[in-house]
């Protein structure tokens, strides 16, 4: 039986090698895809992202046809996982910038605002460090061992505020409860870095690699 293959969208942004190494440790093959046609031929897609929202969006837009290729893959039921700013790009918009998001998972990316709240004076933004995620609903990403115990590594100043509560796959806390993961159809997003989250990140990538390809196989 052949190993599952996960394609990482290489648009010049993100910890590509770290993500690829963790995916390989999870038992999947890795492809780096840089052209829309390669995205269209992928079984599963990872959209990484590091830095500012607008900078990542501009980098994606620099590859002619890439956005449409991603949309077509999603329409065909190709599983897509956004990581960190890659997750935020799935939103409608972001307070961090002026450019539109992909609007694949309706919502707005918000900045943490803990000022003036006495109980949270010791907390800092960005939120950095390890944090447990509470799965919501019957999340595919947090199936198996992750439904009972998990800890992931976060580095972020912004969080995803979903328009529809049913799209929330997991929540965490940093002063306030915030969305740590989203899931809409075969589209997934995580605010944390699974590639830096040791055995929990491995388990999450294994769950993603095990997803069937295309809606016909659901």
Could you read off the pLDDT of 59-98 as tens digits, one per residue? 999 999 999 999 999 999 999 999 999 999 999 999 999 9
- List, in sequence order, every beta strand (DSSP E) within 84-175: 93-94, 107-111, 127-131, 134-135, 152-156, 158-162, 168-174
Which member of 56, 84, 131, 183 is catalytic? 84
pTM for this model (two decimals): 0.94
Which member of 43, 96, 183, 195 is catalytic? 195
Over the chain, what is the mean pLDDT? 92
The count of other CB atoms within 10 Å of the CB of residue 167 is: 22
| pLDDT exceeds cutoff 80 at 121 | no
Verify whether residue 127 is a known catalytic residue.
no
Verify whether residue 193 is a known catalytic residue.
yes
Which member of 127, 156, 174, 193 is catalytic? 193
For residue 81, which of 90, 69, 71 has the smallest C-alpha distance? 90
Q: Which fold has domain 5-217?
A: Rossmann fold (3.40.50)
């Amino acid at each position: 039986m052949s190993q599952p293959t996960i394609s990482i969208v290489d648009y010049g942004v993100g910890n590509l090698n770290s993500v690829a190494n963790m995916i390989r440790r999870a038992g999947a093959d890795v492809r780096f895809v840089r052209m829309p046609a390669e995205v269209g031929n992928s079984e599963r897609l990872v959209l990484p992202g590091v830095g500012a929202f607008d900078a990542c969006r501009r980098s994606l837009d620099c590859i002619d046809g890439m956005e449409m290729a991603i949309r077509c893959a999603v329409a065909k039921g190709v599983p897509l996982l956004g990581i960190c700013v890659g997750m935020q790009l799935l939103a409608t918009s972001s307070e961090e910038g002026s450019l539109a998001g992909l609007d694949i998972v309706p919502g707005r990316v918000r900045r943490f605002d803990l000022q003036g709240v006495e109980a949270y004076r010791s907390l800092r933004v960005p939120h950095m460090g390890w944090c447990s995620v509470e799965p919501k609903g019957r999340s595919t990403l947090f199936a198996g061992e992750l439904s009972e115990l998990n800890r992931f590594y976060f580095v972020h100043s912004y969080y995803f505020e979903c328009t529809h509560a049913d799209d929330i796959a997991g929540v965490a806390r940093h002063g306030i409860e915030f969305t740590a993961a989203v899931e809409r159809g075969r589209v997934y997003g995580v605010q944390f870095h699974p590639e830096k989250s040791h055995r929990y990140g491995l388990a999450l990538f294994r769950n993603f690699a095990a997803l069937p390809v295309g809606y016909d196989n659901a």
